[in-house]
Structure 1
Amino acid sequence: MKNKKILIIFCMILALSLIVSCNEEKVLEETSTKNENDSINSNEKEESSENKDLTKEEKVINNGSIEPFNSGDAKVKDVVIGDILDKVNSKIGPANEIEDMNEEDFGDTIKINNYDFGKLEFSKGEDGKFYLYRIIIQNDNVIGPREIKVGDSVETVLSKFPNDNNDKKDGMRVLYGGDYESNGSGILYYDEDDNISLINYIHGQGGFGSYGMKLSIENNKVKDMDIMVQIN
């Protein structure tokens, strides 16, 4: 009888040991699972943070990606400053009217071709060929550089180029550049009534070989565009 009681007590102790062991394994398993989940959540948060930072960086890059006016902007209707007359005619057809003139002060022979959209001016080179050096757009049938067209607002134009938001001074406001160290500039001009009258963009130092675009402004809208390269 005594041996039977001892056996029963031994079995009870063994059962309790098994229960405790199972509980410990369950606790360890739950702890391990929790740690794994915490690790996964932490990694996801880090990835999310990295992606968020990358998006911010991309936005900064995009905001700073607007280039100043340059020689690549000097084209209209597949016609590029520097094209020869024959090439221009093959692209857009013959002019409605042609004017010939000589600039005696500089010894240049100029040919002005008039079209429905405006004018193209050519200068005679040393090889006898006429090269396009000036494009004038006078109506909204033709899209100019950076998709600007006659009738667009001043705000639309300014959004296409850098703008340092400088203060107005002496009847003009420098949009960017404007000093001798800059290879180009953008300047806004005002008339006597303090209305914007002209926007002028230049690529280069402003002398021979420099590219420019002047936009005449009337009632805060583009009246015409004048794109050219300085030939004298």
Structure 2
Amino acid sequence: MNNNFAQPAYHYRIDCMKPQQLFPALSFIFCGLFLQKPLALPQTSPLSAFSSAWNDARFLKCNTAANTSYLSKEEKDIIYILNMARTDPALFANTVVEKYPGFRNKPSLKDLPDYKSLLDTLRLVRALPLLYPDSICFESAKCHAISAGSLGYVGHERKTDQCKRSKHHQGECCQYGYKDPLLVLMALFIDQNVPFHGHRFLCLSSYSKIGVSIQPHSAYGYNTVIDFYF
């Protein structure tokens, strides 16, 4: 891979949004010994490195894309992790976000106002509805991610007729530079130097449908497009 890629970048867009739909109000086996088949090992959460609490059975419902054939493992995990953060924002703050500077070996993150405000937001926001994969949103995100990646483009404007026809979202996040699901999401959550923390706002809004596509990008290595719909 070209080591001269630009630093990670971000872009967000909100379309057709109603105020009341955005950012919900802040507030506050004993097992038998003679089984014919061996027991399956319990599923390990992608956030288990931050706390074993994420392996709790209540988070299994968050893996809404587990059986979605058109998504890659990384794309599925973006939905899984985002749903876990939305299901228990305070736990996400107190485990993942608190430990993230050390996890990334970037202790200076703790001094960023954007990082501090993320902790505050997650500790106040209520649990949000689960996001479910949507094939129409996926085709919208995929077309834009492929087109933007091949052109080295940064932004939301659809550059091909096909992408203009398939565009389908009411909110969109674009992140440039990462492929790892957690790094993509944490970049959007921290939203460093982004006015009004627009990506964070979208990720913590009451959407119900999501499409995710991660594709190569000629300038940044990778780009991720996340399209949301109510």
TM-score, normalised on structure 2? Answer: 0.25
Q: TM-score, normalised by structure 1?
A: 0.25
Q: Relative to total residues, which structure has the larger helix share, 1 or 2?
A: 2
Quick one: higher RCO (CA 8 Å, sep 6+), 1 or 2? 2
Structure 1 or 2, whichever has the larger Rg, is 1
